Amino acid sequence: MTLARGPVPPIPLTVLTGFLGAGKTTLLNAALRDPALADTVVIVNEFGEIGLDHLLVETVDEGMILLSAGCLCCTVRGDLIATLEDLLRRRDNGRVSPFRRVIIETTGLADPAPILHAVLYHPYLSLRYAVAAVVTVVDAVNGAATLDSHVEAVKQAAVADRLVLTKADLADAGVLTALTARLKALNPGAPITQALDGAAPAQVLAGEGLFDVNGKIADVRGWLSAEAVEAAESAHHYVDGHHRHGKAHAHDHDVNRHDARIRAFTLVSDEPIRRGAFDLFLDLLRSAHGPKLLRVKGLVCIAEDPERPVVIHGVQHVFHVPAVLPRWPDDDRRSRLVFIVQDLDPTFVERLWNAFLGKPAVDQPDAAALADNPLSLRR
């Protein structure tokens, strides 16, 4: 008798990023020695950029190397989508052992968004892979100067789910404290780990994120880190559309920094929201301000099925196929959406959210009118 096959659980995919010289190579080399990263596929932009010689066992196929940790390493020769599709074909056809996760190591100048788009947007890859985490490596010695000079570095830190500080032992204590505070202000929801001699616990890369390949509910609450974002946001407020700091952050921003253009905030609702209203909220927001949505993560209580929360994950105008969890991960059944945005007033997003929730408010946009005229969102 042939057993019916159920849906194939998505394969967790981690994006490892960080600016030039931050220490991604050292971190990845050290992590690959840990058994926790066995059965992992590592994708690097250029094989020569990462020193894996001490881990090599044999050449499995052109462009693919078997590592001593039980991992496979392959180069991206052109299109990332083609590489990810080829890995699935090899796995499904038994040409490589079933791997449990994928790590993509980006170049130092890379904006993580296009890589996330490749997984989130593709109709097939979005079903077979699930973005578990973005891990960003930051050089503690040069990190502040890099953030000042390169907007790519700011975006890499802003969209991260986990931040790793390297060379912390070489940094002045005051510099390290200031950089840590800056990163927490830029991305309050991301835990910060200090690497020791360039290495960090393998769980930084292998830790469970949004999806668990074994079908269990992962720590969605921790993945969202909504409470940390809410706490940071409470120290800020807006006056006449401009960002102002509370007493905890009374200093003035350096105008040469990009940080002030990027904000993290949360939207929370105690009441379930109808699926149609929620879909329209997202459609209108991303059609009008998609490029400004650096990251959107959320756990939503849908009125039609309140016992099974929907997980939302998006980058700019591209959103992953919503995942429906079999149950809530804890007793907190509120809808929680975490936004990381650039050049977008959080109060405007909140007003739109409240409009679709049906909450009365002064100067609130009308949801029905917005549906008929989405161009009114462009402010």
Q: Could you read off the pLDDT of 315-330 as tens digits, one per residue?
A: 888 887 777 888 887 7
Q: What are the phi and psi torsion angles at 171 (to 5°)? A: -90, 145
Residue-level pLDDT at 242: 46
End-to-end CA distance of the chain: give it in Å, rounded: 61
CA 105/CA 237 separation, integer angstroms: 37
Give the model's pLDDT for residue 32. Answer: 80
Query: Within the chain, which residue ranges are assigned CATH 3.40.50.300?
Result: 11-206
Name the segment(s) of the chain with CATH classification 3.30.1220.10: 248-377
Instruction: Name the maximum alpha-carbon separation found in the chain.
Output: 71
Query: Which of 377, 368, 357 lies closest to 284 in space, CA to CA?
Result: 377
Instruction: Write the pLDDT tens digit of every residue in 103-134.
Output: 888 878 777 887 888 777 788 888 888 888 88
Instruction: Using CB atoms within 10 Å of the CB of residue 73, give its burial: 0 to 12 exposed, 13 to 18 middle, 19+ buried.
Output: buried
**What tokens does 233 get?**
């946001």
| Pairwise CA distance, residues 303 & 66, whole Å | 48
Predicted local confidence at residue 174, as pLDDT = 93
Q: For residue 163, give both structure tokens.
A: 């931040």
Q: Quote the CA–CA distance of 181 and 327 in Å, as a whole number.
A: 36
Q: Name the token pair of 353.
A: 């959210």
C-alpha 246/C-alpha 41 separation (Å) is: 45
CATH class of 11-206: alpha beta
Ranges under pLDDT 70 in the chain: 1-7, 45-73, 75-78, 207-224, 234-258, 360-379
Per-residue confidence (pLDDT) for residue 30, from 0 to 100: 83
CA distance 315 to 309: 20
Task: Tell which CATH architecture fits domain 248-377.
Answer: 2-Layer Sandwich (3.30)
Cα angle 29-31-34, degrees, rounded to a multiple of 5: 120
Output the CA torsion 171→173→175→177 (10° steps). 120
